[in-house]
Amino acid sequence: MCGIAGILSLKIPQNERFHQVEKMGERIIHRGPDELNYFENDCLSMVHRRLCIIDLQTGSQPQTTTDGRYTIVYNGEVYNYLELRQQLNQKGYTFRTQSDTEVVLNAYHAFGPECLNQLIGMFAFAIWDNKEKTLFLARDPFGIKPLYYWNGPHGFYFASEIKSILAAPDYKASLDQTAYHDYLHFQFTLGNETFFKDIFKLEPAHYAMVSRQRHIKIQRYWEPNFSVDSYHTEEGFTHKLIELLTDSVRIQLRSDVPLGAYLSGGLDSSSVTVLASDLLKRGIKTFTGKFPEGVNYDESKYAKLVAEKTNSEYYETSITPKDFTESIQKIIYHLDEPVAGPGSFPQYFVSKLAKQHVKVVLGGQGGDELFGGYTRYLIGYLEECIRAAIDETIDDRPYVVTFSSILESLSSLKQYKPLLQYFWQDGLFGPLNQRYFRLTNKASNISDLFITDEIDTQKIQNRFDQLFKRKNVFSYFNAMSYFDQQTLLPALLQVEDRISMAVSMESRVPFLDRRIVELLMKIPPTIKFKNGKLKYLLLQMMRGVLPKPIIDRKDKMGFPVPLAEWLRDPHNPVHHFVMDMIHSQKFKQRGIYQTQNLEQALHENLPSMRGVWGLICVELWHRTFLDS
C-alpha cells in the first residue's frame, strides 16, 4: 500500500515541477512513511511514497522495465501476482524483484490495458510509456484504491488523495455544486465529481490515457454481466461461492509483515476472520471497537464469540466523547470529502489500535452490497408484493418474492417504521426507479438544517436513472444492488482506504474479488433474495462455520455512534463542540445553513442523525479545506 502523485507538463520548468511534486508527496506521507522515491524526465515528474508490505528489500518504486520503455508508480496489492508471474515467465519475462509491482509492470508490457482483466486485487497506478510519450492511469474494478486528477492550465496532476493535488500553486479550492447537491441527497456523490471543483476521480473499472499534450481519453475496461445462470442449483452456487471466498482470503493472506482482522461481530467480518484462521491453522489478531453507552452501541459480545471460536488474540478499544472532539477535524482532513454516516470516527480508533500490532488488516467491506444486506431492499420488495397482490398479477410471472413468502422476513423491519412511513407518504406504487430514488433519499433529514432552494431534484433523479436503469438488469433486486455497488460501495471504500492509511496501515477486503462478483451477478435473484431474506446466500455459505448466535442475529448495527445521546447532554463535550460550531460567525456567514431555530432543528433531527452528521461533516470540511 502506498501513495502516488505526479505532474505531466510541457509548460512548467522541470525544477519547478519537481518542487511541486515534492510538496505533493509531503501531503501523503502517511500513505507511505517507509520509503520516498521519484521519477523525472523532460515532461513528467512522479513521486512514490512506500508502505512496505511485499518484498521488503527489493520492492522499491518507481520501477522501469528492462528495455527502459515503461515506468510505474503503483498503489495497492495484486494478490494473484505469483500465478501471473509464472505466466509471464513462460512468455520469456525475467524478474529482478519479488514484488507484485514488477508483475503488474511486465503484465502491462505484455498485454497493454488488457492486463487489467487479469489482475485480482486492489490497485491504482500510473505507467509512463517512454516510446509513445503517454501516461496510463488505472483503477481497480470496485474503487478500493483511490486516484484523482486535475487538468490545470499548466499541467495534468494526479494523486492518491485530493489533498496532494491541493499543493498545486495554480489550484484554488472551491466547492463543486453538483457534488454538494448529490451529497445532500444521498450522502455520497454520483459519477466522477468530487467536492472540489474541477478535481475528478478516475472511476472504478476505468483507465485513462493521457497524451504529452494533456489530452485525456477515459475508457471502462470491466462491468458486471447479469446474464442469469438458470442451470445450476442453489446448493451448487453456495458451494462455489464458499470455495471462491476461501481462495480470496487465502491469497489475501500473502504478506511479509504482521497481519490481523477487523472484527465487529457481524456476519461479514466474522466470516473473513473464521476463514483466515482456518487457513492459517491458528488464531489471527482481531480488533474491535465499542462505546460505553450501552448494548445499542456495543457488539463486542459477538466479536468475542468469534475470537473464542478461532482462538484469536482479541483486542478491544472503548471510544469516548473526548475522542470525538479531539480527533474529528483530523479525520475530516484525512477523508478529503464529507462522507456518509459517522462510522469513520470509530473506525479510526479501531485502526489506531490495530496499527499497534499489525501492518495489514482484513475486513468485511462489500458484503452488504454484494449479497443484499440493506433493509431498503426488503422495503422495496414489500411494496411490489402488495402491488402484485392487489392487482392479482402475482401468478403472471416468476416474482423474486411473493407476499406470502416475504412475511417471515418482515420482522427485520421492526426498527425501520419511520423509514416506511416516509417511503409510503408519496409516490406509492410508482415506477421502480422513482421508488428506489426515494429510498436512497437522505434529503428529508436535512431540509431544516441546510438551505436547499437551489437543489434541482429532477437533475439528480436524471443522474440517478443513468445508473439505475442499466440495460440487461431484469430484476429490481439486481438494479438496487448494482446501483449501490456503483455508488455507495466506492464511498464506503473511500473511508476504508483513508482511515487505514491515516495510521499507515493496509486494509484488505476479501469479498471484493472479481471472481466472486462475477458469479453473484449470474445467480438468479430468486436465490440471492430468497423469501426476502437479507444476505440469504452468505448465511447459507457460513451456516455451520460461524457460531450459531452470529448466524441468528437480527440486530444489524453497522458500528452506530451515540451522537444523539452526546448532543442531548448539555454537559457532554460533543454538545459543547457542536454548539460552539453552529454559533460561530464562520458558520453563520457560510450561507448554506438554516441558521434560524437551528438548535431546535438539530434536536428534532437527532433520532435519524443523518442530517446532524452531514452538518458537522460539511462545516468541518469547509474549515479544513476552504477557510484555510
Q: Which of 249-253, 300-304, 410-414, 534-538 has the lowest mean pLDDT?
A: 410-414
- pLDDT of amino acid 284: 96
The answer, yes or no, to whether residue 397 has pLDDT greater than 70, is: no
- pLDDT of amino acid 602: 77
Query: In terms of Cα–Cα distance, which of 462, 471, 401, 470 is closest to 437?
Result: 462
Task: Locate the domains of the chain by residue range.
Answer: 2-175+197-220, 234-371+494-551, 375-486, 563-626
- pLDDT of amino acid 597: 77
Task: Show the 3-state SS of 495-528.
Answer: HHHHHHHHCCCEEECCCCCHHHHHHHHHCCHHHH
**Is-catalytic flag, 2?**
yes
- pLDDT of amino acid 7: 98
The answer, yes or no, to whether residue 404 has pLDDT greater than 90, is: no
pLDDT in tens, 341-368: 899 999 999 999 999 999 999 999 999 9
Distances (CA, A) of 537 to 365, 367, 511, 533, 543: 16, 11, 13, 9, 10
- pLDDT of amino acid 596: 83
The answer, yes or no, to whether residue 163 has pLDDT greater than 60, is: yes
Q: Which of 236-245, 398-407, 461-470, 610-619 has the lowest mean pLDDT?
A: 398-407
Query: In terms of Cα–Cα distance, which of 477, 19, 545 is closest to 226?
Result: 477
DSSP 172: -
- pLDDT of amino acid 69: 97
- pLDDT of amino acid 389: 82
Mean pLDDT of 600-625: 86
- pLDDT of amino acid 399: 58
Mean pLDDT of 39-51: 96
Q: Which of 346-360, 402-416, 532-546 has the lowest mean pLDDT?
A: 402-416
- pLDDT of amino acid 601: 75
Reported as a pLDDT band with limits 50, 70 and 90, residue 111 is very high
Query: In terms of Cα–Cα distance, which of 71, 57, 52 is closest to 3?
Result: 52
CATH number belonging to domain 234-371+494-551: 3.40.50.620
Average pLDDT, the chain: 93
Proportion of the chain above pLDDT 70, given as a percent? 98
- pLDDT of amino acid 470: 81
pLDDT in tens, 443-498: 777 878 898 888 888 999 999 999 998 877 878 999 999 999 999 999 999 999 99
- pLDDT of amino acid 607: 67
- Residue 552 annotated as binding site: no
- C-beta neighbour count of 282 within 10 angstroms: 12
The answer, yes or no, to whether residue 395 has pLDDT greater than 60, is: no
Mean pLDDT of 78-85: 96
- pLDDT of amino acid 398: 57
Regarding predicted confidence, which is higher, 20 or 608?
A: 20
- pLDDT of amino acid 294: 87
The dihedral built from the CA positions of residue 462, 467, 470 and 476, taken in this order, carries a sign that is negative
- pLDDT of amino acid 474: 77
Q: Which fold is adopted by the domain 2-175+197-220?
A: Glutamine Phosphoribosylpyrophosphate, subunit 1, domain 1 (3.60.20)
CA dihedral 303, 306, 311, 317 (to 10 degrees): -10
Joined together, the cell numbers standing for residue 83 give 500465478
Q: Which of 10-24, 212-226, 608-622 has the lowest mean pLDDT?
A: 608-622
Mean pLDDT of 563-577: 93
Among residues 2, 43, 52, 617, the one annotated as catalytic is: 2
